[in-house]
Amino acid sequence: MTWLTAFKDKKIVVLGAGMTGLSCLRFLHAQNLSIAVNDSRVMPFSSEAELAQYQIDFPHATFIFGQWDQALIANADIIVASPGIDLDKEGITTLINNNCQLIGDIELFCLVNNRLPTPMQMLAVTGSNGKSTVVSLLAHLAKKLGVNAVLVGNIGEPILDLLVTTNSAEQPELVIVELSSFQLETLTSMKAIAASVLNLSDDHLDRHKTLAVYQALKQGIYPQAQIAVISREDKATQSLVAQQSTISFGLSKPESGHFGLALISINEAEEAKQTLMFGEQALIALDELPLAGMHNALNYMAALALGYTAGWSLSAMTNNLAGFTGLAHRCQRVSSEDGIQWINDSKATNVGATLAAISGLAPTLNQQNKLILIAGGDGKGADFAPLVPVLNSQVSQLITLGKDGSEIAALANTTNKAIEVNTLAEAIEQANKIANRGDMVLLSPACASIDMFKNYMVRGEQFIASVTQLQVASNVNEKANVKKDTKEAACR
């Protein structure tokens, strides 16, 4: 890897000893480079024994924990920063000298990949919501179509491990990368076949400060791709790169060469159905696909458009869409026997995700059924005002919890006053009292989970466990009542 000769005799610092930082360590150490790994946590490893093993396995590395080493950072020639570290908030930005090269793991991969004899091709996806679903669907389609593809970035394996664990004969044909705004802060050298900003809404403003800054970071993906895959539903996602080739997707009937929806019937005897379209070509009816809601219709179209740019067969992709059943904690139906639809959308960590869930799921309910929303957590400085219209028109009852639960509760109108609780278990208990058969209880917090849980997965798992426990308790009570009735009947 001739490009890495520029790293020789340089002072290289990896900031962060989490999953990303350690993948940077593995890659750089494999190139016989000396590295310092700095983390503000006293012990980022699970134990002293694990640290000792790393020190044995990586003799060219120095580990400095407990605080950010100001002298180390100030004298660095190259800094590889983990995306989860807010360099401004941590006071690191002001320490970095003007000649220092600041990069992230994705950028490091691209710099090396671009100089390989046969670079790995890339498809890149970002956006506020739906990106994990879209990239996972792409990975599913790739497998079904026999394409050797890997999923990396914000989901999947660390991208630099592709350069450590594979030789040129084993390297994948395609790298599908999910990119967060944090990763985009240090990315400028990607050369993707296509890239997409799926949607934009307030998120991570505690770090990016303004929506304009956040949007600019997301838009930065397009100059690093040949083709822009854009949403007609959100102007903020559209490419600003002059004369860039684009493919669009949206909920309207599409023009030739683009993706959309149309209400069509296969024959006169059948009722017209909402159908995925490519221009005038009907692909598949939405009711034949497992992921419900219009937000998921957009996800399907985005994946098809990205696959199309990679040269995949439209018919082959369409035939394999139904085999993808979605991801955990994304509008995930929880098994129940009470006739209530319990939906775990714990991954909805921002306002846009919750709006998408409500807008996508509410139309599936009959007019007499209620939608009960459980929301709240750490809003990360987001504006909750966009929730007001759906709270007042589509949500029958709002239940809130967490750090910013009261702020969300204040948005409910006086005739539909919110119920404020302290725990998720309490929220589920309250929802169960209100809900009847056919109603929907939706956990879609519009907030991060860090004020109450380790992460959104734990929050979602607790929701599932609590709902399951309700079913068990209900069955026990039902059996007890049957026993009691039988005993009373025998005594008559």
Instruction: Look up residue 213 and give its two tokens.
Output: 């800054």
Residue among 182, 177, 171 nearest 136 (CA): 177
Instruction: Look up residue 318 and give its two tokens.
Output: 């369409």
Among residues 38, 129, 204, 350, the one annotated as catalytic is 204
Report the distance separating Cα 225 and Cα 245, nearest Å: 10
154 is catalytic: yes
Residue by residue, DSSP assigns 3-26 as GGGGGTT--EEEE--SHHHHHHHH
Contact 17, 9 (CB under 8 A): no
- CB within 8 A of 423, min separation 6: which ones? 401, 452
Give the chain's count of helices (H) and strands (E). 16, 20
SS3 247: strand
Contact 442, 361 (CB under 8 A): yes
Contact 85, 185 (CB under 8 A): no
- CB within 8 A of 341, min separation 6: which ones? 333, 438, 439, 440, 441
Contact 128, 184 (CB under 8 A): no
CA 82, 156, 246, 300 torsion-angle sign: negative
Q: Which residues pair with 246 in a beta bridge?
A: 228
204 is catalytic: yes
Among residues 38, 113, 129, 131, the one annotated as catalytic is 131
Q: Is 331 left (phi over 0), alpha (psi -120 to 50) or beta?
A: left
- CB within 8 A of 327, min separation 6: which ones? 132, 133, 136, 347
Chain-centroid distance of CA 450 in Å reads 16
Residue among 50, 45, 25, 51 nearest 36 (CA): 25
Among residues 38, 113, 129, 154, the one annotated as catalytic is 154
208 is catalytic: no
Report the distance separating Cα 262 and Cα 245, nearest Å: 24
Report the distance separating Cα 48 and Cα 446, nearest Å: 38
Q: Which residues are marked as active site?
A: 131, 154, 204
